[in-house]
Amino acid sequence: MYFVGVDLAWGERKPTGLAALDDTGRLVHVSAAQDDDEIVEALKPYVADACLVAVDAPLIVRNATGNRPAEAALNRDFARFDAGAHPANTSKPEFRDTPRGARISGRLSLDMNPRSRRPRRAIEVYPHPATVALFRLGRTLKYKNKPGRDLETLRAGLLGLTELVEGLASAEPALHVDRERSGWARLVEAVGEATRKSELRVVEDQVDAVLCAYVALFATRRPEATVTYGDAETGYIVTPALPADLVPTVRPARTDGPKATATAATAAVDVVHDVVAGLVAGAVAGPATGAVAVTGPVTDAVADATADPVLAAVQEYAARQGEITRAGAGFVALVTSILDEAGINYLSVTGRTKSVASFAAKAARQVDGTPLYPDPLHTITDQLGVRVITYVLSDVDAVAELLADQVVVKDDRDMGQETASQGRFGYASRHLVVALDADREGQPAYQPLRGRVAAVQIRTVLQHAWAEFEHDIRYKGTVPEEHVREFDRRFTLAAGLLELADREFSTIRDRLHTGPVERSEVPDDDPRIDPRDLSAFLAGQYTDAGWSRTDHYAWISGLLLELGVTSLDELSEVLRPVNRLDLNARMDYRYPPGAVRRLDDALLAAFGARYIGLHGNAHRVPSLRTRLERLLADGPPVPAQ
């Protein structure tokens, strides 16, 4: 019996990889073919008698749109490992009539029923989930060509895959590549010698074919560890079962495209920091470091706590430091969840809890002999701090408006406006003091935050760079008296330049929102819509919406995959009936939602309960149901899809 693998190209202009294993698991054939005739001729010696042919291409496609049930089921298990399947449906030209895989199987007289006991059969397989399951990968190997992957990246991924395949010699069942006689050695050498991506593609197809052949062997020898997603009626995919204890690895930061934005913005902070440092260094040589002595009642903390309210407050603050720290983390989580739910774009949300020493120093402050904070525990409002860093100025206002809608804002100061009103350039940041709203006050999850306030600073990445460096020099360093005026002038100059840069960044983003949408035509092994293409599409779709966080575009692209939407054309068709509705009025946004949030609500309107039930939405079912009720308040938005 032979086990045959076919990495079938969806069209005849690209090569198809072919491989065959004998009954002992030895690789006896590996090659590439172009058209159907070449494929049939190459396989004839291995399918004349008992055989199982594993084809990496849809064999049975009967659904008009979206995913086949097999793809939807497989994606629920494997999409989080980057091993989701492309949707196959009859609206696509390659499946409108008989799929190519079924056509070739028919010419070879192979039975395509996965439950059949006939000796000569064909099954549909998919190498990506197979590699995850067989090799216990946290994510698929990146050996497929896609934007941002250079030749060396692809080479490394493909060489890694060949090593894993060779390691199957000690697996059960075993695969023996027989390097010299089978042609495997030639393939590995070709990977090392390739000078173009197209040369790697030919090898990649053949390596995938070997994997397909092994899946056929595995399914035959270890049926208890094999899963068939779907059925012979609606289509199916056979793959080794996902290990129950396998979890995805953390996705690495991208070095290109929108996911690199946060890294680039962080780098911008470092650059600005160096620029300002250069301005200061030009005025004086030598270190600008030192210490500021703290004086006041706390430094003489020998009196009885009952006689000294400041000392009593400090002692109580120290005793409650653990619960205060937990409350600080709770406020960070609350602000982050509010921004993420709204789809607001931001660089980071961080927090800090005031140290005991810092609290003591502030509690001890006096004006003309009178304590500035007579009740420190309740009048010092920055014990818990949250800092939100955005990319552009308009996002600062968006975050402030959103928080005003979601929590109680006890104080709101725009320090940039206050500075500008004095005709100066300098510190710019939005300062809020927030507390829980009435609804959250009654929820057990927010118990550590009850009765507390948090100071929230909102500023752009450039404002943050200026503020941090200026604070380090002026408040943590020692500035010689003779250089104070010079430093003031230089800090003012830097603040003016950064304000101008902030405005230019805002203009650039606004221009991008109104620019044309370019769609990537580069083939991609990831069936999801590329996040870069999606962000450009949504910028044109929702011109009044702000940008969302870069990782949110990838996240909602995964939800689209679960819905069977894998192209911008398909997404346009989904949104067409929704676009006729005024979702803004139905949702009654009291803040400017980001583009991903707008799409999220549009998909909720289009798919209703089906959207809520997606695997990727499991963590937010209650909030989605609440939003759906709001959408349905004026009647069904669109017919259910």
Give me the CATH number covering residue 366.
3.30.460.10
**69 and 175: one domain?**
yes
Nearest Cα neighbor of 555 from 338, 265, 340 is 340
Q: Any residues with CB less than 8 A from the CB of 231 and at least 6 apart, and which?
A: 69, 70, 114
Nearest Cα neighbor of 279 from 505, 469, 477 is 469
Q: Any residues with CB less than 8 A from the CB of 636 and at least 6 apart, and which?
A: none
**95 and 221: one domain?**
yes
**426 and 567: one domain?**
no
What range defines the domain where residue 625 resides? 531-632
Kindly state the helix (H) or strand (E) to which residue 465 belongs, with its residue range.
Answer: helix 461-476
The separation between CA 246 and the C-alpha centre of its own chain, rounded to angstroms, equals 20
For residue 242, CA distances in Å to 56, 81, 100 come to 18, 10, 28
Return the structure tokens found at 515: 């620019």
Alpha-carbon gap, residue 27 to 20, rounded angstroms: 6
On whether residue 70 sits in a domain, the answer given is: yes
Q: Tell the residue number behind the tokens 């059960």, with chain if given.
A: 172
**25 and 141: one domain?**
yes
- Cβ atoms of 133 and 241 within 8 Å: the answer is yes
Return the structure tokens found at 616: 């990727």
3-state secondary structure of 204: helix
CA dihedral over 411, 412, 418, 419, signed as positive or negative: positive
On whether residue 94 sits in a domain, the answer given is: yes
For 35-59, the three-class secondary structure string (H helix, E strand, C coil) is: CHHHHHHHHHHHHCCCEEEEECCCC
**357 and 443: one domain?**
yes
Nearest Cα neighbor of 558 from 518, 526, 598, 605 is 526
- Cβ atoms of 543 and 514 within 8 Å: the answer is yes
Torsion angle of the four alpha carbons 516, 522, 524, 527, in this order, in degrees rounded to the nearest 10: 40
Looking at residue 19, its pLDDT comes to 95
Number of domains the chain is built from: 3
173 upstream amide cis, omega within 30 of 0: yes
The separation between CA 371 and the C-alpha centre of its own chain, rounded to angstroms, equals 49
Kindly state the helix (H) or strand (E) to which residue 272 belongs, with its residue range.
Answer: helix 261-281
| DSSP-derived secondary structure for 554-608 | HHHHHHHHHTT--SHHHHHHHHHHHHTS-HHHHHT-SS--BHHHHHHHHHHHHHT
On whether residue 80 sits in a domain, the answer given is: yes
**Beta partners for 16?**
33
3-state secondary structure of 147: coil
**293 and 236: one domain?**
no
**208 and 133: one domain?**
yes
**236 and 293: one domain?**
no
Q: Any residues with CB less than 8 A from the CB of 85 and at least 6 apart, and which?
A: 67, 70, 71, 74, 75, 78, 126, 128, 129, 237, 527
With a cut of 50, list the residues of the chain below it in pLDDT: 253-306, 475-476, 514-523
Pairing of strands 454-460, 430-435: antiparallel
Alpha-carbon gap, residue 401 to 434, rounded angstroms: 12
**337 and 217: one domain?**
no
Q: Return the half-sphere exposure (C-beta side, CA atoms, 13 A cut-off) of residue 72.
A: 21
Kindly state the helix (H) or strand (E) to which residue 386 belongs, with its residue range.
Answer: strand 384-390
Alpha-carbon gap, residue 543 to 597, rounded angstroms: 13
The separation between CA 229 and the C-alpha centre of its own chain, rounded to angstroms, equals 27
Radius of gyration of the chain (CA): 31
On whether residue 56 sits in a domain, the answer given is: yes
Looking at residue 299, its pLDDT comes to 37
On whether residue 637 sits in a domain, the answer given is: no
Amino acid at 488: D
Return the structure tokens found at 98: 């008989």
Kindly state the helix (H) or strand (E) to which residue 351 belongs, with its residue range.
Answer: strand 348-353
On whether residue 328 sits in a domain, the answer given is: yes
**423 and 564: one domain?**
no
Pairing of strands 51-55, 120-124: parallel
Residues of the chain by 3-state class (helix, strand, coil), percent to 5: 55, 15, 35
Nearest Cα neighbor of 317 from 374, 370, 367, 378 is 378
Q: Which of 445, 460, 475 is the last residue of a domain?
A: 460
Q: How many CB atoms neighbour CB 183 within 10 A? A: 17
Q: How big is the CA angle at 87 (ends 82 and 90), to the nearest 5 degrees?
A: 170
Alpha-helix residue ranges (DSSP H) falling in 343-460: 356-363, 376-379, 393-406, 415-421, 438-441
Amino acid at 480: P
Alpha-carbon gap, residue 587 to 342, rounded angstroms: 12
On whether residue 407 sits in a domain, the answer given is: yes
Q: Any residues with CB less than 8 A from the CB of 382 and at least 6 apart, and which?
A: 354, 455
**292 and 235: one domain?**
no
Q: Which of 180, 210, 240 is the last residue of a domain?
A: 240
- Cβ atoms of 30 and 19 within 8 Å: the answer is yes
**71 and 164: one domain?**
yes
pTM above 0.75, yes or no: no
Nearest Cα neighbor of 236 from 70, 115, 90 is 70
On whether residue 582 sits in a domain, the answer given is: yes
Alpha-carbon gap, residue 79 to 285, rounded angstroms: 57
The secondary structure of residue 421, as a DSSP letter, is H
For residue 597, CA distances in Å to 495, 553, 556 come to 33, 10, 9
Q: Which of 177, 205, 240 is the last residue of a domain?
A: 240
